[in-house]
Structure 1
Amino acid sequence: MKTLRTPFLHQLATAGVGALLLSAVGLPAAAQTTAPVQPPAGTVPAATPSGPYSLQRAVDVALQNNLTVRQQQLTTENTNVVLRQSRAALLPTANAAASQSWNYGTNVDPLTFQFQNQTTRANNFSLSSQVTLFSGFQLRNTIKRNELDYQAGLSDIEKSRNDIALNVASSFLQLVLAQEIVRANEARVNTSQQQVSRAQKLLKAGSVAESNVLDSQAQLASDELNVITAQNQVAFYRLQLAQLLNLPSATGFEIEVPNLPDPDDVVMLTADPDGTYQTAQGIMPEVKAADLRVQSALRTVELARGAYYPRLTFGGSIFSGYSSARIGRKLTGDSTVVPSGFIYQLTPTGAQVVPGLFSGIKQPRFETLSEGFTSQVKNNLGKQLSFNLSIPILNGLQARTNVQRSEIGVKQNELRAEQTRLQLRQTIQQAYADAIAAQRRYAAAKRQTEALTTAYRNAEIRFNNGLLNGTDFNIAKNNLYGAESSMIQAKYEFIFRRKVLDFYEGRGIRL
């Protein structure tokens, strides 16, 4: 069977699962009716596959249907998009623009900059580009920070998957335990029925008092009640596991019961929590995520300090335009004779000066027309190159404040990482102590069960011979049942604690 690795084990190892295992075993315990602690919801539940579920199959279905894992995956994908955008910020920017406008009445021509009183249509076209040459290494520090955030997000996905896997493994083990309790209680009911039948026969033979029969019947009723209570526990844990798998219904949902060894068949644990801790902190995704976020916070400090440095950019642009008010002269091909000399002519009144037509000069004729769109765009073409330097001097101490806040953020992330490691160490130490205690408790409960079994058989012989009343016999019987329940409880608690340690040592969870 594949192994299950989950950091969420340490959250349930000290309280959650242990309490559930304890409440699932005791005979007088009330049936649990509350909803699961973290049932994953789903918009489109998967159909219930046929056949019993193994642990690995249940985990695979839960991971496929769980929305918490999907949400974490989307969050990480968003972080990856931010990372790609920060890398693209190193590229030059390029933008094109175009506009068309109409001016009425008195206005300034956008190209000739002359006042005029006419309707004018104008077009403007531009193409510009800019690249950052230096910005205090802020762009590169942003990329490095976002890379760390993305890696931390991947660790968060692994942690979410491990959390779901542990929830499934815990519910799976609880269901196995509940089913074993049902089988034990059904065996007790069968024994009690045989005892009632035997007591009734002895009563008819006059060997026992009627009170013995009544006590046996009362015990049978109590055992039947315990069976109903245990069956309700099975139904509850089956529903809980089906909800964790996001199945539409628990009807027909069954599991494969694994063959679990008894604790006394396992070599006694040797306490080495420090070695397990050293192994665990190197493989736990929550520890890796905490360390990555410390490094990300350090990059944030460098990013904030980049605001102290000047910012240098280089840009270029090309632009042109058109105005309907712009005019030009166009050669028509005709010519005009212009007088260029004078002659004297005698008249009765005297000599007069008249133009000399014979000495005229021909000049070309032009028309005043609006300049065409294409020629204007070509003639109005302009280009520009520029370097822009921005030197921060005083901006309300914003850069200094941002640096101080980012330095505080580093300390906060360092404390979170330290807290994660501390919780991991304490959980491993507690898991070792609980596993050793459960193994010892199982051995003691087994010896107690063997002793009470012998006492019960002796009490049964005395009861059948009329030498022991029904009350004392039921006390001996219930003492045996209590010892058996304690042994079952210790068995499953040891199994869980041992799997916790296997997980932290990198061996995974196998049932």
Structure 2
Amino acid sequence: MKQTDSTLPGRAIRAAALLATLGLALPAAAQQAPPVAPPAAAVPQAAPAGPLSLMQAVEYALQNNLNVRLSQLQAELNEATLRQSRLQQLPTAQANASQTWNYGTNVDPLTYTFQSQTTRANNFSASAGLNIFSGFQVRNTIRRNGLDYQAALLDIDQARNDLSLNVASAYLQYLLGEELLRASQLRIDTDQQQIERTQKLLRAGAVAESNLLDAQAQLASDEVSVVTAQNQRDLARLQVAQLLNLDQARTSSLQLQVPTLPDPDEMPAMDADADGTYQIAQGTQPQVKAADLRVQSAVRGVEVARGAYYPRLTFGASIFSGYSSARIARKLTGDSTIVPSGFIYQVTPNGPQAVPGVFAGILQPRFETLSEGFGSQVKNNIGKQLSFNLIVPILNGWQARTNVQRSVIGVKQAELRAEQTRLTLRQTIQQAYADALAAQRRYASNKRQVEALTTAYRNAEIRFNNGLLNGTDFNQAKNNLAGAESSMIQAKYEYLFRRKVLDFYQGKPLDL
């Protein structure tokens, strides 16, 4: 027979699509107390033995999901950036050493004389510098990077909350598939019993053969509903396994608990309206806190850019020495020579007269010219230097002013993003609250419809067994009841999911 939208397969497909849409469309959930995050590169933990509860599935996913681990690595990068900016306050120091060979005509690096020979030269130096003042740029950079690091930590919480709700969505889709499957299997049992009764009535001549054919067609239709529910359940289980980052072997063996969930009319009334939930979530949501921190970071960015207007004062100290193979030294040999310096005169009545054969001389020691040793040159050539450097910016192509203007615009963008985050949060909570109320009302009306259609179906079954109702009308009554039951199950799980979302925004644990 022709399948209509009110039959169980159509309802089941629509229910699965609806819950899938709910899971994908949800933003972040409310922040819980931030747990200690595991190392980002940690090896995935083994899945717990036995069927997983929702809480166990969420905890396992938080330890092994790749998106959460990527957020942790990003936070580690921000921490390294913060640590480096703090180290910028320390002095800088470096040591240099070089060795060169000069050929042909060259200038000796130590004597600064022109020479035409091959020389080997060594230079050694060590220097240190300290930034005394740079327009408070270092201090403001540290504060800005600190705010970025705090925002990155909140991004981890945001990723964990998003993952938690995605796991809950897939988990509830699995439970929906299980409940639809149970309902479909019960209808198949009823169909088989009906076929047996119809066959007996047909052999007794109480009903026409068309009634048996209609019953068999209904059984085939309900078997399609079973396959549809099985596919929905298996796809939901696969989605849970993917969120848990399970391999193929553990995906095949994954089992989920199927708890008995209360109906919406058995649950306590929602204790908060949309505005009350928003006020709670606004103070606990990690994306709101992260957006506010990024506004503060952008303000610090303006201060960093304005630091380029100020003069810069630095202090430097250095020590250096060197060696040149062309440098020579004079060394006493121990011998000496007398160098004539003139005649010796004596006073006579006729005036001073030179004494014949006698000369005056100077005793001059002898020296040996040698290349000065490496150690003595390094020791004798040591030089030291202290310096203060002041740089006053005058004109640099308006780069500083342009950077300040960009930073100011960045602050405005961050403020708008923070406002947009709050607006999105408010709208999401309002939508979840409205959807929960609508699902609750729809469940109540569907429940009344199921009760009425159940009575009508029982009456139709009695008339059909007595030959007073044809198979087509009887199957129509049965399909109407199946459609109403499917709509009631759909409304139940939509309400449960929206209720859990609102509870999570209020800081309550995510559990069934």
Q: Tell me, yes or no, whether TM beats 0.5.
A: yes
Residue 285 of structure 1: how far off its partner (Å): 0.6
Is the aligned partner of 1:199 residue 2:216? no
Matching residue of 1:234: 233
Equivalent residue runs for 1:305-384 within 5 Å: 305-340=306-341, 342=343, 356=358, 360-384=361-385
**Aligned equivalents of 1:423, 1:343: Cα separation in 2:** 116
Distance verdict in 2 for CA 1:28–1:362, change over 3 Å? closer
Matching residue of 1:162: 161
CA contact (8 A) 2:101 2:118 kept: yes
Equivalent residue runs for 1:97-176 within 5 Å: 97-176=96-175
Residue 501 of structure 1: how far off its partner (Å): 0.8
SS at match of 1:356: strand
**Aligned equivalents of 2:209, 2:472: Cα separation in 1:** 12
Residue 61 of structure 1: how far off its partner (Å): 2.3
**Aligned equivalents of 2:146, 2:357: Cα separation in 1:** 91
**Aligned equivalents of 2:182, 2:100: Cα separation in 1:** 88
Distance verdict in 2 for CA 1:510–1:30, change over 3 Å? closer
**Aligned equivalents of 2:462, 2:361: Cα separation in 1:** 158
Letter in 2 for 1:308: Y
Matching residue of 1:417: 418
Matching residue of 2:35: none
Matching residue of 2:436: 435
Letter in 1 for 2:447: K
1:99-147 CA-partner distances (Å, limit 9, x unpaired): 1101111000111111111111111111111101110000000000000
Distance verdict in 2 for CA 1:107–1:136, change over 3 Å? same
Distance verdict in 2 for CA 1:57–1:356, change over 3 Å? farther
Residue 355 of structure 1: how far off its partner (Å): 5.4
Distance verdict in 2 for CA 1:343–1:301, change over 3 Å? closer
**Aligned equivalents of 1:440, 1:235: Cα separation in 2:** 30
1:401-426 CA-partner distances (Å, limit 9, x unpaired): 00000000000011100000000001
Moved more, 42-51 or 386-395: 42-51
1:248-304 CA-partner distances (Å, limit 9, x unpaired): 223221101123111001233366211111110111111011001000000000000
SS at match of 1:392: coil
1:297-347 CA-partner distances (Å, limit 9, x unpaired): 000000000000000101111111111111111111222233455369xxx
SS at match of 1:293: helix
Residue 31 of structure 1: how far off its partner (Å): 8.4
Matching residue of 1:86: 85
Gaps spanning 5+ residues in structure 2: where? 1-7, 26-40, 346-352
Distance verdict in 2 for CA 1:283–1:31, change over 3 Å? closer
**Aligned equivalents of 1:226, 1:415: Cα separation in 2:** 49
Equivalent residue runs for 1:264-279 within 5 Å: 264-269=265-270, 272-279=273-280
**Aligned equivalents of 1:44, 1:367: Cα separation in 2:** 75
Matching residue of 1:256: 257
Matching residue of 2:11: 26
Letter in 2 for 1:115: F
Matching residue of 2:32: none
Q: CA RMSD in A?
A: 2.5
SS at match of 1:26: helix
**Aligned equivalents of 1:132, 1:86: Cα separation in 2:** 13
SS at match of 2:252: coil
Gaps spanning 5+ residues in structure 1: where? 1-22, 345-350
SS at match of 2:365: strand
Moved more, 454-463 or 139-148: 454-463
Letter in 2 for 1:141: N
**Aligned equivalents of 2:393, 2:338: Cα separation in 1:** 70
Is the aligned partner of 1:388 residue 2:389? yes
**Aligned equivalents of 2:135, 2:341: Cα separation in 1:** 74
CA contact (8 A) 1:25 1:488 kept: no
Matching residue of 1:212: 211
**Aligned equivalents of 1:77, 1:105: Cα separation in 2:** 56
1:465-506 CA-partner distances (Å, limit 9, x unpaired): 111111111111111111111111111011001111101111
SS at match of 1:253: coil
Distance verdict in 2 for CA 1:102–1:354, change over 3 Å? farther
CA contact (8 A) 1:341 1:356 kept: no
**Aligned equivalents of 2:391, 2:168: Cα separation in 1:** 60
**Aligned equivalents of 1:502, 1:113: Cα separation in 2:** 83
Matching residue of 1:287: 288
CA contact (8 A) 2:66 2:245 kept: no
Q: TM-score, normalised by structure 2?
A: 0.89
**Aligned equivalents of 2:354, 2:269: Cα separation in 1:** 145
CA contact (8 A) 1:31 1:232 kept: no
Matching residue of 2:34: none
Letter in 2 for 1:219: Q
Distance verdict in 2 for CA 1:239–1:354, change over 3 Å? farther
Distance verdict in 2 for CA 1:109–1:84, change over 3 Å? same
Is the aligned partner of 1:405 residue 2:390? no
Matching residue of 1:4: none
Is the aligned partner of 1:301 residue 2:302? yes
Distance verdict in 2 for CA 1:71–1:271, change over 3 Å? closer
Letter in 2 for 1:110: P
SS at match of 2:128: strand
CA contact (8 A) 1:95 1:129 kept: yes
Matching residue of 2:177: 178
Letter in 2 for 1:74: L
Matching residue of 1:469: 470
Letter in 2 for 1:268: A
Q: TM-score, normalised by structure 1?
A: 0.89
**Aligned equivalents of 2:275, 2:59: Cα separation in 1:** 32
CA contact (8 A) 1:24 1:177 kept: no
Letter in 1 for 2:481: L
Residue 356 of structure 1: how far off its partner (Å): 2.7
Distance verdict in 2 for CA 1:436–1:44, change over 3 Å? same
Letter in 2 for 1:269: M
1:342-389 CA-partner distances (Å, limit 9, x unpaired): 369xxxxxx9976536x5443322111111111111111111111100
CA contact (8 A) 1:271 1:432 kept: no
Letter in 2 for 1:186: Q
